[in-house]
Structure 1
């Protein structure tokens, strides 16, 4: 993973002291709330329903064991001994005291972490595939390109106060999209052209929230060296023409829709003509320098299978289920990638205790070269586990609450903190997730349903990505009461789509039975080879609507 040089470290240290002084001035009454607001936001600090919330950056989801232990220490010292992994691969603390936030940032800086630009109207944390560098289906490891984007966008003076927040995702897999690039302000798909040259297909204007939109292609092929210059051209056009008079119409998706993709593309290309050979043009040496930070681990020469593992698979249904759902085939023989589930029933999806953070750090050191990954599905990944270590890892994962064998299923729910914490939420999310998990507690039945994404958001800001859930649940307010709107047919992959609203909303008590009725229609109507999203696309939502509202 990327390691700070002296310049990086000094930059982060200076930002800590700058924010410490700003916080002291605010607490002393020398800064108005309106003056402090943009300062705290660009240091990751929100004011939530009950307390401040601090969002800590985890660039493209990479964490060392040292960093994970530091997060555990911070959670114990400054919070309530837990954290929440978000859909942007970051971690959030829900209970810090405002006056102690600079101390938290100082602690983070000692392990090369920060909260810079995790909120505010700036370019946020760049995200990517949680299996980057590990699976055989990717063109190239996307993490060096994510790091180049991170360094370019951090403290970029021209983009510190954009019309609205701005998010970029990078995908390098050829046959799937594990980074949801089509629903980002900019989506970067790494490709090769017919000549075999590396480059990027660039999407723009995607996003969820109040007005969900699937991003459109701005350029079919941008050469490798022009990644940053082309992104800069897009953000410049947005910065010049994006609306600032109405925050609900300020995102780039509104600009692209209003301008039209052809006109938007013309303006980007015109801007790029002035930028394409400037100092941000990537040299071969700079790309190689960044790639060196993500060199291949010291893999051993191992057999692809292990007799003890095969025997345990035959003897233990629990182990077999865990491998079926939580293991992903590795490109290197003798290794596998393991997802540590944070979706145990009765626990808020994405939450992790300080004890679990330390346990995950220990597991990473013993079994995966001391690194963990955070997925936008709010789980942890050990990317490089020896096949022969799987039985021991399974036992330790069970002991620490990480072994729920539900990855990719109905109960692997994406969920925002909702009304339990967020001041913007219209309704609670976490209790709904728990009710659904309890409704579908028969793993054999859940496995029979196959892959199915269920996403829950507590409000239209869509932090739970409900628009692109195969089943999406949105919390809405009805005269002060909490209700839930259901949508079907969303997908965040290569064939991205937005869910269609089923009909009138439901109260909290009705939601689990509504989901069961939806599943019953799927079971009745599906063909042998279809997953849930395929059935919805084939038959439409009308049969589901008829069953639910009968």
Structure 2
């Protein structure tokens, strides 16, 4: 993984000193809140419902065991013993005190981490495939490009005050695991017949109040020209993006208003003036960064079949064999190198907020990374963690060790592998709570046999229209809304991430919180009752349309009315 050089470390250390001075002036009253707010936001510090929240950058989701141990230390020292992994491959601390935040940033700097640009109207943390460099379907390892663009965008003076926040996602595999089309800019990497690295650029995607899928605006861009082309793109957005209306300030609104073709034309016009400038990447820059993403010291191993792996369980009782078999199916992914696999550690045990992990678990995961995966791990968009380079022969041993930390629930990709934002329990922007809804659904569907029978279903929950839980792209989405000071929940169906990305559609009026488990049950029962053999939920939805699911979702309300009328008649 990338290692800081003198320039990186100096920049981060100076940023810590700068912020320490800003906090001191805020605490003694010399710096008013309206002036402090943009300064703290660009250092990842929010003021939430109960306390300050600090969001720490994990660039393109890549972490070392040493860094994870520091995150655990920070959780214990400055927070309440846990952190929350987000959909953008960051980690958040929800209970920090303002006085301690400079010390947190100083501790992060000791392990080559920071919170720069994890908030504010700037280029945010760049995200990518959690299986980058190891995925069996990968065309190009995107991490060198991710790192080059991270360095290009960090504290870029021209793009420090954009009309709104700006998010990049970068993919280099056949399967899109980045929800590329739902970002302000999505970059699809590929190679031509001559082996040259090229990029297709998608712009104008996003979720939130107006969900839109991005449009292809540039094909076959040589990788060296990415800085100049993206500069041109951001200049057009900076010049014409809506600064008069917070809700219309994202680039998706500009691209929609102009049309993708006209937006691309304007970018090309701006780019013509700078394409031959000094901003473009050089081969020397590539080599400087790419040296940090070489393959680890893999052994020469023979691949093991599922039968061979199950045989390692030995003559233990069948329940353990079944549990391990399910874990192999749901939590283990194929690898580029024979004899190795990638393992997803589930952060979704029932009763725990999705994405939350305790300091004890962080330390244990760091130990697992050191022992089984070359000291590295990755954060996923789905709010889980990945050990990317595990010898197949060590999978049983790893599974037993991870099970002691409650990290092996074999529900990856199933209904209870829920994506959720912190919601109204923490966030001051939220209209409703997300975490109790996630817990209620987990409890209702707490049966692995049934979940396996249902198959792949994605469920995403957001506490407000900002869509930090990415409810728009869940097969089933839940959105918290406010009605006259009360919390209600709107259901969307038909969303999807990946190569067939789609925005879900609202099925109708919203529901009370205590109705949601029944609504989910009715939706799922409709799928079970009308699906074809081996048909996934999203395929069944597309075949059947919204009508049967909508009717089922609201059927409980009709029953409730009938029941109340019957009770009234009996009285």
| Number of the residue aligned with 1:331 | 336
What do residues 75-113 of structure 1 show as CA deviations (whole Å, max 9, x unaligned)? 111110100000000000001100110010001000000
| Number of the residue aligned with 2:246 | 247
Alignment of 1:453-472 (within 5 A): 453-472=458-477
| Aligned-partner Cα distance in 1 for 2:383–2:118 | 17
| Aligned-partner Cα distance in 1 for 2:374–2:17 | 33
Report the alpha carbon displacement of residue 192 of structure 1 after superposing the two structures with TM: 2.9
Report the alpha carbon displacement of residue 194 of structure 1 after superposing the two structures with TM: 5.5
| Aligned-partner Cα distance in 1 for 2:158–2:10 | 22
| Aligned-partner Cα distance in 1 for 2:136–2:287 | 21
What do residues 152-200 of structure 1 show as CA deviations (whole Å, max 9, x unaligned)? 00010100000100000001112x2100110000000112346553211
| Number of the residue aligned with 1:505 | 510
Query: Is 1:104 matched with 2:104?
Result: yes
| Aligned-partner Cα distance in 1 for 2:87–2:47 | 19
TM-score (norm 2): 0.95
| Number of the residue aligned with 1:278 | 277
- Secondary structure of the residue aligned to 2:96 is coil
Extract structure 1 runs of 4+ deviating beyond 4 A: 312-315
- Secondary structure of the residue aligned to 2:394 is helix
| Corresponding residue to 2:353 among 348, 354, 372 | 348
Query: Is 1:423 matched with 2:428?
Result: yes
Aligned length: 549
Query: Is 1:236 matched with 2:241?
Result: no
| Aligned-partner Cα distance in 2 for 1:305–1:115 | 41
| Aligned-partner Cα distance in 2 for 1:124–1:53 | 16
- Answer whether contact 2:310 2:324 (CA < 8 A) is retained: no
| Aligned-partner Cα distance in 2 for 1:209–1:201 | 24
Alignment of 1:438-477 (within 5 A): 438-477=443-482
Superposed CA RMSD: 1.2
- Answer whether contact 1:124 1:168 (CA < 8 A) is retained: yes
| Number of the residue aligned with 2:563 | none
What do residues 413-464 of structure 1 show as CA deviations (whole Å, max 9, x unaligned)? 0000001000111111011111111111111110111111100000000000
Alignment of 1:16-35 (within 5 A): 16-35=16-35
- Secondary structure of the residue aligned to 1:383 is strand
| Number of the residue aligned with 2:211 | 212
Report the alpha carbon displacement of residue 211 of structure 1 after superposing the two structures with TM: 0.9
| Number of the residue aligned with 2:40 | 40
Stretch moving more, 20-29 or 286-295: 286-295
- Answer whether contact 1:486 1:505 (CA < 8 A) is retained: yes
| Number of the residue aligned with 2:559 | none
| Number of the residue aligned with 2:521 | 516
Alignment of 1:54-453 (within 5 A): 54-174=54-174, 176-193=175-192, 196-305=195-304, 309-312=309-312, 315=318, 316-453=321-458
Report the alpha carbon displacement of residue 480 of structure 1 after superposing the two structures with TM: 1.3
- Answer whether contact 1:312 1:319 (CA < 8 A) is retained: no
- Secondary structure of the residue aligned to 2:53 is strand
| Aligned-partner Cα distance in 2 for 1:531–1:14 | 52
TM-score (norm 1): 0.98
Larger radius of gyration: 2
* Runs (5+) with no aligned partner, structure 1: none
* Runs (5+) with no aligned partner, structure 2: 556-571
